Amino acid sequence: MQKKQEILNEISPDYFWDVNYKKLDPGNSKRLIIERVFTMGKAQEIMKLINFYGEKEVISVLKDLNYLDPKTLNFVSKYFNLPLQSFKCYKRKQLNPQFWD
């Protein structure tokens, strides 16, 4: 595994406009980092993140997120070959349907 701060050098700081990027800790902020990179990141950054945290840990974090936009959710589902029903955000959306006026 790489040194902790090296992964932050591989990721664009633009994804973390609302937090102090220099104070991010890859161990404590793993959920935020994974969510932002999968939502806004490039393919190379996603691969580096998977190599850093490990596929099992990344999947675990993604499955437990309360929200992923539909495009990212679909990408993650296909990329890791997981059913949509295994994601917490998908289940929550199904439990709260939005009706037409």
pLDDT digit string, tens, across residues 61-94: 999 999 999 999 999 999 999 999 999 988 777 6
Predicted confidence (pLDDT) at residue 99 exceeds the cutoff of 90: no
Q: What is the pTM of this model?
A: 0.84
Q: How many domains does the structure of the chain reveal?
A: 1
The Cα–Cα gap between 6 and 76 comes to: 24
**Contacts with 18 (C-beta within 8 Å, 6 or more apart), sequence order:** none
pLDDT of residue 1: 45
Q: Which tokens go with 24?
A: 């991010």
Residue 94 lies in a domain: no
Residue 65 lies in a domain: yes
Residue 40 lies in a domain: yes
Residue 20 lies in a domain: no
Predicted confidence (pLDDT) at residue 95 exceeds the cutoff of 70: no
Predicted confidence (pLDDT) at residue 48 exceeds the cutoff of 50: yes
